[in-house]
Structure 1
Amino acid sequence: MNNTDQDRKKAWKLQQKQLARDAFPIADALLESLFDAVDACVEEAGCDHTLRFTTVWLSDQQQPEDKVIAWLREHGGFCDCEVLANAADHWERNR
């Protein structure tokens, strides 16, 4: 691969990362807080294969549940443990 191709590939990757960041449904600090809270709850009580802890946090923090849950599901977060394994991983790679 020549330098021009490498530069284009690097620019494309940066553009994709920015698009992913722009699609975050709430502020970065709030996503971090959500993932930390869900992680603590799953660690303590386990996952019941619902978004129980996620929805409680969203409600407590008065965050837009529909918008956030749609984004989580788009990135593989269909239950609390998948929120941590999949959506948090996507967020971590793109933040």
Structure 2
Amino acid sequence: MPDKNEIERRKQIAKDLRFKAKQAFEDSLPTSRENFKALFDNLDEQLTDNECDHTLILSVRFLQSFKLDNIEAIAEWLKENGGYCDCEVLANVEEKFDDNAIL
């Protein structure tokens, strides 16, 4: 059984790894967290009234309203993070933005 110092050392290593993973995630974002949160809110509202057509059409339309010049890169990032269509953006990508999520 590890002693108290070893347990603390392991906890610190785990904490450092979580911090590095979170920082890598933040660095990978192709637009601001605020834009993503607005996108999630909009999709939640849109998909209440409309069925997902298994594309990113609602996401792209909403992002176009921000007049961003990297919408294709954002769409690619969404896909790389499990958001291949609008409902998957909510199901798979939104949870990665939870501050308590373990990355």
TM-score normalised by L of structure 2: 0.84
Higher relative contact order (CA 8 A, sep 6+): 1
1:91 Cα shift? 2.2
Partner Cα distance (2:45, 2:57) in 1: 13
The answer on 1:89 being equivalent to 2:95 is yes
2:19 corresponding residue in structure 1:
14
Give the alignment's Cα RMSD to 1 decimal. 1.4
Structure 1: 5+ residue stretches without partners: none
Q: How far does the alpha carbon of each residue in 1:3-40 deviate from its partner, in whole angstroms, 9 at most, with x for none?
A: 11111111111111111111111111111111111111
Larger Rg: 2
How do 1:1-95 residues align onto structure 2 when only pairs under 5 Å count? 2-63=7-68, 64-92=70-98, 93=101
TM-score normalised per structure 1: 0.90
Structure in which a larger fraction of residues adopt helix: 1
Among all aligned residue pairs of Structure 1 and Structure 2, give the percentage whose two residues are the same amino acid.
30
User: Where does structure 2 lack aligned partners over 5 or more consecutive residues?
Assistant: none
4+ runs deviating over 2 angstroms:
91-94
